[in-house]
Amino acid sequence: MRPKVSDRLTALVDQLDHLFRARPIGDARDVYDRVAPSYDAFRTLWLALVGGPAEEAMLDDLRAVLRPGSRVLDAGCGTGALARQVKAIEPDARLTLADASPEMLRRTHDVPGERLVANVLDLPFPDSHFDVVVSAWVIETVGNPVRAVAEYLRVIGEEGHVFYTFCSLPEGWLSQGGSKLLRSVIEHRFAGQFIPPERTPWHDCERSHRVRFQGGVTTEIALKKCCDIRSEPPS
């Protein structure tokens, strides 16, 4: 009999425990260097259990805007799962993959494009360098999500697009209580936080959108160059 998804998640968390027993969790780069060998398995379960609708919404947004020759930055590319989907949507996209973890980046070797080790809080690109920035499950792992999104906006052109998904804190004590175990896994195994609505990098205008999924546990946001998120409280 095939094990339940919840049983598979429990088994995977147990498997990852040994990565964290030897020393305490450090910064996100240290964490993801260590979990890189197991990350794809966890990501598959994450999408099956929680993250799938938000990421599919982002892929729908990408399908609407990608064109041959589009300059695309995958900011915090991880092992390249999202980058592979970008190339599947538009094979002629000009892709750049950036991640703070060399071990994660090494696992993107099969993805056509440029790659470099980089911190999303200080992207090493000039202003208006890309047409599209995509970032899946990244801003919740950095100290200042607002600054990360400001960097995404800085490096897109005047008609560019920014799309990102992240773990968000559900509103209401019941929703927060129900997601406590999930939040514990993300916070203690993957150096992540669940960003509350009042600290979300977001600008409400006719050229942007924000959609919350799974009772508010995940969020997908689309922004344009004109969006000003710097007025949000820093994280």
- Per residue in 175-201, pLDDT (tens digit) is 555 455 565 555 655 556 889 888 899
Task: Please report the domains of the chain, with CATH numbers, ordered by start residue.
Answer: 28-224 (3.40.50.150)
d(CA 192, CA 189): 8
Would you place residue 67 in the very low, low, confident or very high pLDDT band (cuts 50, 70, 90)? very high
d(CA 130, CA 147): 18
pLDDT of 231 > 70? The answer is: no
Residue 165: predicted pLDDT: 98
12-45 pLDDT, tens digit per residue, is 455 545 444 444 445 678 888 988 998 898 899 8
Range scoring the smallest mean pLDDT among 18-22, 53-57, 133-137: 18-22
Average pLDDT for 150-157: 98
Q: Is 156 within 8 Å of 225 (Cβ atoms)?
A: yes
pTM of the model: 0.83
Instruction: Identify each DSSP E strand in 18-86 by its residue range.
Output: 71-75
Contacts of 44 (CB under 8 A, 6+ apart): none
d(CA 144, CA 226): 21
User: Can you tell me whether residue 171 is helix, strand or coil?
Assistant: coil
Mean pLDDT of the chain: 85
Residue 131: predicted pLDDT: 99
| Bridge partners, residue 162, by sequence | 133, 223
pLDDT of 10 > 70? The answer is: no
